[in-house]
Every structure is written in structure tokens, then in C-alpha cells.
Chain A
């Protein structure tokens, strides 16, 4: 079967760095996505990893290790507007997206 785990909630301080982890189990893998979802809004695309390593995009970076079934999203120089849920999603062998429940990130001043 397929399974995605990520922490339910995390708290961090404005200006700091936070790492949101995502672990998964799957029989087939065709990429891992991170989406951001502000409360009451639609998810928006942040990053995509299909090969091992780090993908950097401004303040946000995403890392993937396929052998460990592990990814993380790294957010630097946190801003209040980064308060949101961060959804990890796995694309399986049928190219279907399997979504985690999301990590609610709370930023404190």
C-alpha cells in the first residue's frame, strides 16, 4: 500500500528556519510534491522532486531521498505570511497523487 506521514502541526519564530518532514511508503514512485495551503484557500504548488537531492527556490528548498522514502521542506527567513498548511504529495506508479494530511505551520513574532 501507500502511506504518507507528516507532522500535524509545527510552530516556529519569525525570521527563523523550519524543516517540515515527510516520510512515505510506496510500491511505485514518480515524484514528490510540496504544496502550500493557507486557511480557506486553495493549495498552491511549491516544489517538485523526482531525483535525490536538494531543490532550492528562494526561501524554500525541498529535499528528497528515494532510498529512505523521505523528503523535507525547508523554509528560511520565516515570515508571518508563511503561516499555512504544507501538503506533501506522492505521485505513484499510476501517476496518481497521494496526499498527506498536511502540516499546519504556525509562525510566532
Chain B
């Protein structure tokens, strides 16, 4: 019944490795996102994706690549992991064109990545 689910919840890996985080939403939302929350707790958008378009944040290194096999899934692949990639990564989804225009985000539980 989980609305937005992401796996794994915890990921510990060595520098230089490649890893993926998976995300699935069963809300029927059109738009999905990846956010990074660092130790200072700022939430920073990395990518947003709807059926038609992937929007890439220019500040995200190209070692990060989102992959969306369908509108219910948005996975995050990270190549050549660095120490600074350690953070909590949140997947989220939203539905555009809601009645209130609020476009509220529903977040997954987060994936804590630790790079050693």
C-alpha cells in the first residue's frame, strides 16, 4: 500500500563503485523527482521527470543518471561514487493540474547512501 517506495533504505559502499536506487509510485502521478538531502538538511532537486520530459538540474554531476522505464518508476544510477555523494536521497511524485494547484509532493522514505 506504500504510495512511493524506494530501495534500498540503506546503502554503504566504497568510493569509485557504481550503485542504483530504485523508486516506484502507485499513485498514478505524472511527475517524479529525485532529491538529495545533505547533512545540513537542505533538500535539493536533482531531477524531475514526467511522461514527456526529463528535466536535469545543471548542478548535478553527470555521474548521476535517472532512468524511467515507465511513468511509475524513476531509478537513480550513480557512477564512480565520491565521498561527497553521501546523503539521503528522496524520491517523490506529484500530480500536476490538481484542483488547488498545489502540486503536492509525496515522498518516499529515503535512501541513506554512505560512501567510504
A interface residue numbers (CB < 8 A to B)? 31, 33, 35, 40-45, 48, 50, 85, 87, 89, 91, 95-97, 99, 101-102
Contact = CB atoms under 8 A, between A and B. Distances in A.
Nearest to B38: A101
Interface in B88-113: 90, 100-110
Contact of A101 (B41, B45, B106, B110): B41
Contact of B109 (A41, A87, A97): A41
Interface in B8-59: 40-45
Nearest to A47: B102
B105 A97 contact: yes
Contacts of B109: 41-42
Nearest to A41: B109
Nearest to B91: A42
B102 A99 contact: no
Contacts of B107: 42-44
B41 A102 contact: yes
Contact of A42 (B40, B102, B108): B108
29 contacts: A31-B101, A31-B102, A33-B104, A40-B110, A42-B4, A42-B107, A42-B109, A42-B110, A43-B90, A43-B105, A43-B107, A44-B107, A45-B104, A48-B100, A48-B102, A48-B104, A50-B101, A50-B102, A87-B43, A89-B43, A91-B103, A96-B45, A97-B105, A99-B42, A99-B43, A99-B44, A101-B40, A101-B42, A102-B41
Interface SS majority for chain B: loop
B97 to A, nearest CB: 12
Contacts of B40: 101
A82 B101 CA distance: 27
B45 A97 contact: yes
